[in-house]
């Protein structure tokens, strides 16, 4: 009826609908309220037009993993949709902090002291305070970003005390194993003992397990937008 600007839109609409009902079922199994699970649509590598389809569908929470790519796509979308919230879920280099703080609303990948200092300075100079998640390298994988689990308590305390950053939760990207629940459980424990109420974990392949282990933010790309086109 004229609303589809692209054949991709109807697929995104159906996917969003299907994902939401799966979240509801997973929440019910865990005796949690589905409204306590925030669905972040990860739109990396997706075209602005497809993202616009998700926004037209009423979706308001998005995540991207690259600053440069986000600067190409998001200023125009945010201009037209001021109630959209954009999370950075990819690694952040200190030389891109200024640009990231200008564009994003939430930083999910704070993982080292140098970045904490850079963010605190930039918040001061731009007069803003973005909510931050600390990324934990929950599977202790050498190739992955994040503070190690045994160093997490100290790093959280440093970010709070030394830099007065608004730390609201923890984030992880666990190893792809069938033991993913162990990793999710560990992240929940670290969050709980540090009185952090937000837990960002769970992607397209494992979000139902993450919901069972207390995820408050799940990050879904493929399940919403379909297979990612290769980055050009």
Ligand X SMILES: *Cc1c(COP(=O)(O)O)cnc(C)c1O
Residues that bind ligand X (CB under 6 A): 42, 44, 65, 89-90, 173, 203-205, 219-223
Buried b / exposed e over 156-177, threshold 16 CB at 10 Å, is beebeeebebebbbbbbbbeee
- Reduced to 3 states (helix: H, G, I; strand: E, B; else coil), residue 149 is helix
Residue 13 Cβ vs ligand X, minimum distance, rounded to whole Å: 18
Residue 64 Cβ vs ligand X, minimum distance, rounded to whole Å: 9
d(CA 196, CA 170): 7
Contacts of 17-21 with C-beta under 8 Å, sequence gap 24+, read 19/220, 19/223, 19/224
- 217-220 and 131-136 beta bridge pairing: unpaired
Nearer to ligand X, 117 or 226 (CB): 226
Cα–Cα–Cα angle for 68, 69, 74, nearest 5°?
Answer: 105
Residue 146 Cβ vs ligand X, minimum distance, rounded to whole Å: 11
Nearer to ligand X, 43 or 188 (CB): 43
Residue nearest to ligand X (CB): 221
Residue 205 Cβ vs ligand X, minimum distance, rounded to whole Å: 6
Nearer to ligand X, 193 or 203 (CB): 203
Nearer to ligand X, 21 or 164 (CB): 21
């Amino acid at each position: 009826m004229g609303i589809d600007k692209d054949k991709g839109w109807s697929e995104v609409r159906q996917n969003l609908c299907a994902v939401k009902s799966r979240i509801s079922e997973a929440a019910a199994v865990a005796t949690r309220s589905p409204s306590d699970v925030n669905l972040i649509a990860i739109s990396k590598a997706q075209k602005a037009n497809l993202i616009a389809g998700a926004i037209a569908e009423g979706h308001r929470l998005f995540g991207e993993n690259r600053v440069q790519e986000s600067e190409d796509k998001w200023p125009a979308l945010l201009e037209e949709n001021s109630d959209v919230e954009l999370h950075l879920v990819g690694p952040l280099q200190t030389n891109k902090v200024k640009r990231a703080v200008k564009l994003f609303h939430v930083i999910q990948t704070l993982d080292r002291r140098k970045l904490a200092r850079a963010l605190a300075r930039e918040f001061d100079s731009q007069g803003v305070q973005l909510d931050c998640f600390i990324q934990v390298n929950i599977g202790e994988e050498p190739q992955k970003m994040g503070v190690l689990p045994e160093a997490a308590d100290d790093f959280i305390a440093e970010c709070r005390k030394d830099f007065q950053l608004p730390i609201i939760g923890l984030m992880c990207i666990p190893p792809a194993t069938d033991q993913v629940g162990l990793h999710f459980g560990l992240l929940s424990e670290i969050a709980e003992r540090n009185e952090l109420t937000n837990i960002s974990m769970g992607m397209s392949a494992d979000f139902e397990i993450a919901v069972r282990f207390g995820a408050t933010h799940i990050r879904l790309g493929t399940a919403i937008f379909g297979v990612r086109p290769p980055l050009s």
